[in-house]
Structure 1
Amino acid sequence: MTIPIGPEGLHDNSELPPLTMFGPDFPFAYDDYVKNPAGIGSVPQEAFGTRVAVIGGGLSGTLVARELLRMGLRPVLYEADQIGGRMRSVEFEGHPGVTAEMGSMRFPPSSTTLFHYLDEMGLSTTPFPNPLADATSSTVVDLKGDKHFARTIDDLPDIYREVADAWARTLDEHAEAQALTDAIRKRDVPAIKAIWGDLVKRYDDVTFYGFLCQSDAFARFALREIFGQVGFGTGGWDTDFPNSILEILRVTCTAADDHHRGIDGGSQQLPVRLWSTPVEGAAHWPAGTSVQSLHDGGVPRPRVMDLRRTHPDNFTVTDKSGRIDTFPSVVFTGQGWMLLNTIRSDERLIPIDHWTAIERTHYMGSSKVFVLVDRPFWKDIDPETGREVMSMTLTDRMNRGTYLLDFGDDKPGLICLSYTWADDSLKLLPLDATERMDLMLKSLAEIYPNVDIRSHVIASPVTLSWETERDFMGAFKANLPGHYRYQQRLYGHFMQDRLPPEFRGFFMAGDDVSWTAGWAEGAVQTALNAVWGVMNHFGGRTPEGNPGPGDVYDDIAPIELEP
């Protein structure tokens, strides 16, 4: 079970400060940084209007572009598909406001920097119906043909409580979880650095599964099996078992897996609004200027095909239309693998060790299947049991996780028939949307034999497997054992005063660069790193009393492991 916290990301004891995604690798207060009324930085007047290419129009790219505009620079955004990236919300024709979240769909309140921008863009959130969450009326756990109905964990058989207790005990005994969480709450940087530094040294080469196996609490295989298939928080964890345990500890000790909220109207609204909403009070630019308004026709430039360094210190970009343009700086926010295959990339963009880090990147695949139904029929009460006819479902069948999304009794409902990762996602690749729907309905019919889900379906299913998307090749990065050094290189790349001059001016941001890949907060934080890097590249600075991530980097930098 993840570290217990109360509503809105607060510990049950309201006297304690909120648990946020403050570190642990780089404990910098990004939320305080962006909220400071003095702003996050400025560039010299002679740099006003300087064009900076921003490649990728997801959350990180649109945020970079917006903050560069605020400083008086001129971002030029390239986007291969559509504004949003993995914040992709699909609407059903004739049913506005009912959106299928094909990528990011749930956000922990501990993502405080993300929530700053949600607030700035006027977006609201509501609790997301995770298994056994307060927002979830009921949950059904179906394993090996045995079905259990529950409103809380106490409604499940004792072995599930035993699994939850084993996880809590393992975290505390082998990862100093409570001490680390307390330090993160208090933003006690020395304590965080001491505890996390020790954990990195101990566990860099250990898988999630290996971490469980070293614990006496998980000595029984049956407990590890149930934990992998069901887990607690968002569901099963076994698709993460081959990944580094450090990836999991970053999630549990920052409450990234707790009390999730969905963005009303769809998550894609955030990058779209960052792109289209005027930036008030921007340096150099007149009132009403938005990133979008700086682009011909109000659309981003198309897919980047070629990216290279050119004399003296410039970057030349060729896009799909054949247009060739040159910039003094570039921010790349796409998946790193694109620099290896879909974009012809100059090897001089980054040092060889950084290329190695990109080549070693490990992505998690992910698939979703959604159907639109005529109403939230799952709230109907079965006269025989007195319970809802259908519940949020965790199962070892092909669905793995089935989520019920209610937009109101008088509106259609939405069912995420299946949300899977890694090997479970690969099992679906040969199937089209209808075949996937049929497979999931077959599995659910075994769990709910008296519920005719198909009779409620009113639109064609929608599906997406991120590993087959040309511009992503995976849902998100997940480091394997031994990858810490690679991650450190990519994350710290924005600190370019320590790079040879010939490698400066090109910045990376986004999911691949983040310590918390798969969470939007990481995309936001790395975007702010890149903005600081560009600002510094053009001779800018942060205001007095509000140092940026680069100003304090050496004091709180991620630990370095021996080569």
Structure 2
Amino acid sequence: MTSAIPAPVTMLVPDFPFSYDSWLSHPSGLGALPARHAGTEVAVVGGGMAGLTAAYELMRLGLRPVVYEAGRLGGRMRSVPFDADPAYVADLGAMRFPISARALFHYIDLLGLTTRPFPNPLARATPATLIDLNGRREWARCTEDLPEPYQQVAEAWEKTLQERAGLSTLRSAIRDRDLETLKAVWNRLVAAFDDESFYGFLADSPAFASFRHRELFGQVGFGTGGWDTDFPNSVLEILRVVATDADDNQMLIRGGAQQVPEGLWEHRPERLAHWPRGTSLSSLHGGRPRPGVTALRRSGERFTVVDAAGRRAEYPAVVFTPHVWALLNHIECDPDLLPTEHWIAVERTHYMGSSKLFVLTDRPFWRDADPVTGRERMGMTLTDRLARGVYLFDDGPGRPGVMCLSYTWNDDSAKFSTLTPDERLRVLLRTLDGIYPGVDIASHIVGAPVTVTWENEPHFMGAFKANLPGHYRYQRRLFTHFMQSGMDPRHRGLFLCGDDVSWTAGFAEGAVTTALNAVWGVLRHLGGACPPDNPGPGDLFASLAPVELPEG
């Protein structure tokens, strides 16, 4: 008798465990609108992953989404070609996607994109990992290869998660889609840990009584790498990630992540209401979106949108996908667009800074054998020096390679923010020379570096949101904004979405799922409904709603 294979963990986020992947794949579709709304224009502000997900599904419902984009389509799914060989790209924003992100992979599969394992530290797909801390270097193929102090830290992390957060129970409930158990366990954790930082959570854990263990964990972590830049954030942010396996089993998209939003822009759905076969978002827009929005005002039951070209248009509903801070400083807004408590939540939103620098190389020289040790010359690198994280990508020995020479966050990102790309490269090469003496990286670089600092990008102002301790109530207001039946009519019709509105900011899955919430909101706002056998997120809201913490 063979035992049953356990179901995989998915990003069934415990705050609101709605099965978006099942909703998307159901043969009955997402819903239907009254015939009078066929072809009705709806504004979609922002052409990133959230905006194009929302626009694509609104089009399939028979509406005419009008996409506004201040920059280029893709948002933080930004893949920049190297000048020396445009066939190779640098993923400056999202670059690794957990296989648990089933709603996102619905679209990746729809577009026929190919993926492969991402070379995270100590992952099966990573030939070697070098950990460089306090001037000491340790090579490892997997966690078991690391010296005893690192083993102790790995064990301390697992023990802390089990004893303080009931991780195995959470994961089992997610696998089994046991929503009653999942909500019961998670709601207790929210009440217990909303006011606790990640660092405080570790420091209060007996397994992390040693400062040295906390320091090592901050620098190395497990899964995607070090966690110290998350230490000030709410521990609930971290627990959501580990419970849903979002930090493990990650994939990259061959050819770059930007292919997903761009693919939705061009894709011609097999099934769609109202529009003729062959319709795409691109065809509805004449090939390009409208320019960025400069003003958003309410005009009775409609909204007036003004774009950077001075064009004005009115809509019965607006889906807003950029970072919510844009409502404070880049877009002229009527105060009545949101209730006061939602404006407060927008003000309190906290963003993480992040920088990356990529170079193209003539070949994956790091795979060469070191004549002394026999190891590869370089490996995926975690370090306490300025580079912090180095990732290596190759398509074989006879082709160019791509190196992410640095991936940094917050304070480490700020250290780069005033440097030009060439200055950043010089600093990093000097830093890496201290880690890999005798490895001449510069001689293999082809062309100019490609770099970004997201907090300096005017339309983003940061990489992604990360809640601080005590921010749960604000997050709940933003996430549940799509449920508008109880709002004053003057606040209805604008729908916030995007990964900073989601419970898992920084993951494209959150952008997709909150966009689907907004789609449901627009559907209901215009008098439509989901099929009885395929209820949407708002239809099941009462049973799945995020727990409310007391405001007093």
- Normalising by the smaller structure, the TM-score range is over 0.9
SS at match of 2:12: coil
TM-score, scaled to structure 2 = 0.99
For 2:249, the equivalent position in structure 1 comes to 259
Given candidates 144, 150, 153, the residue that maps to 1:160 is 150
- Residue 534, structure 1, aligned to residue 505, structure 2: no
Q: Indicate conservation of the 8 Å contact 1:91/1:100, yes or no.
A: yes
Structure 1 moving runs of 4+ over 2 Å: 93-97
Alignment of 1:294-305 (within 5 A): 294-295=284-285, 297-305=286-294
- Residue 308, structure 1, aligned to residue 297, structure 2: yes
Q: Indicate conservation of the 8 Å contact 2:83/2:448, yes or no.
A: no
Given candidates 482, 490, 505, the residue that maps to 1:494 is 482
Q: Distance in 1 between matches of 2:98 and 2:467?
A: 21
For 1:58, the equivalent position in structure 2 comes to 48
Count residues with an aligned counterpart.
549
For 2:399, the equivalent position in structure 1 comes to 411
For 2:205, the equivalent position in structure 1 comes to 215
Q: 2:68 is aligned with what amino acid?
A: Y
- Residue 268, structure 1, aligned to residue 258, structure 2: yes
Q: Distance in 2 between matches of 1:96 and 1:334?
A: 28
For 2:502, the equivalent position in structure 1 comes to 514
Deviation at 1:407, TM superposition (A): 2.2
For 2:189, the equivalent position in structure 1 comes to 199
Q: Distance in 2 between matches of 1:283 and 1:394?
A: 50
Q: Distance in 1 between matches of 2:11 and 2:224?
A: 17
- Residue 189, structure 1, aligned to residue 207, structure 2: no
Q: 1:418 is aligned with what amino acid?
A: S
Q: Distance in 2 between matches of 1:196 and 1:22?
A: 12
- Residue 446, structure 1, aligned to residue 397, structure 2: no
Given candidates 22, 27, 31, the residue that maps to 1:37 is 27
For 1:7, the equivalent position in structure 2 comes to none
Cα 1:14–1:235 shift into 2, 3 Å? farther
Alignment of 1:242-257 (within 5 A): 242-257=232-247
- Residue 476, structure 1, aligned to residue 450, structure 2: no
- Residue 372, structure 1, aligned to residue 360, structure 2: yes
Deviation at 1:327, TM superposition (A): 0.7
Deviation at 1:14, TM superposition (A): 6.7
Q: Indicate conservation of the 8 Å contact 1:98/1:407, yes or no.
A: no
Q: Distance in 1 between matches of 2:57 and 2:345?
A: 27
For 1:420, the equivalent position in structure 2 comes to 408
What's the CA shift string for 1:441-491, capped at 9, x where partnerless? 111101110100000001101110000111000000000000000000110
Given candidates 381, 389, 398, the residue that maps to 1:393 is 381
SS at match of 2:303: strand
Q: Distance in 2 between matches of 1:492 and 1:498?
A: 11
Q: 1:327 is aligned with what amino acid?
A: Y
For 2:443, the equivalent position in structure 1 comes to 455
Q: Distance in 2 between matches of 1:225 and 1:244?
A: 18
Deviation at 1:95, TM superposition (A): 2.2
What's the CA shift string for 1:19-45, capped at 9, x where partnerless? 001121001111111000111111111
Q: 1:414 is aligned with what amino acid?
A: V
TM-score, scaled to structure 1 = 0.97
Aligned-pair identity (%): 58
Q: Indicate conservation of the 8 Å contact 2:8/2:175, yes or no.
A: yes
For 2:81, the equivalent position in structure 1 comes to 91
Deviation at 1:512, TM superposition (A): 1.5
The answer for unaligned runs of 5 or more in structure 1 is 1-12
- Residue 339, structure 1, aligned to residue 336, structure 2: no
What's the CA shift string for 1:363-403, capped at 9, x where partnerless? 00010011111000000001210100111100000000000
Q: Distance in 2 between matches of 1:479 and 1:492?
A: 16
Q: 1:557 is aligned with what amino acid?
A: A
For 1:433, the equivalent position in structure 2 comes to 421
Q: Distance in 2 between matches of 1:438 and 1:275?
A: 38
Q: 1:253 is aligned with what amino acid?
A: A
Q: 2:299 is aligned with what amino acid?
A: T
For 1:9, the equivalent position in structure 2 comes to none
Q: Distance in 2 between matches of 1:548 and 1:193?
A: 19
Q: Indicate conservation of the 8 Å contact 2:197/2:231, yes or no.
A: yes
